[in-house]
């Protein structure tokens, strides 16, 4: 699955706040994502992130 910085991704599991949309804020060996509802930041190894991702929404800035 292809994704880049500032893309919105939908994860398989729902965050405790009730949201499943996250914004990618850092890429590397580990990927840092931020919940779009409560703004909680989560860091996952790339392997785990690739297993837990459901869908990639395109970058918000590209739409404008």
| pLDDT, tens digit (0-9, with 9 covering 90-100), for 6-64 | 999 999 999 999 999 999 999 999 999 999 999 999 999 999 999 999 999 877 555 55
Please indicate, yes or no, if residue 33 is contained in any of the structural domains: yes
How many domains, in total, are found in the chain? 1
The answer to whether the CB of 42 falls within 8 A of the CB of 53 is: no
Please indicate, yes or no, if residue 2 is contained in any of the structural domains: no
Extract the tokens encoding 61: 């800035």
26 beta partners = 32
Residue 13 is part of which domain span?
A: 8-63
Extract the tokens encoding 13: 């599991």
CA distances from 31 to 25, 48, 63, 64 (A): 8, 9, 23, 25
CA distances from 60 to 16, 45, 46, 51 (A): 24, 24, 22, 23
């Amino acid at each position: 699955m292809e994704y880049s910085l500032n893309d919105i991704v939908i994860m398989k599991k729902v965050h405790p706040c009730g949201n499943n949309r996250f914004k990618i804020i850092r890429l590397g060996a580990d990927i840092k994502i931020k919940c779009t509802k409560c703004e909680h930041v989560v860091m996952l190894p790339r392997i785990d992130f690739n297993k837990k991702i459901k869908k990639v929404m395109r970058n918000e800035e590209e739409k404008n």
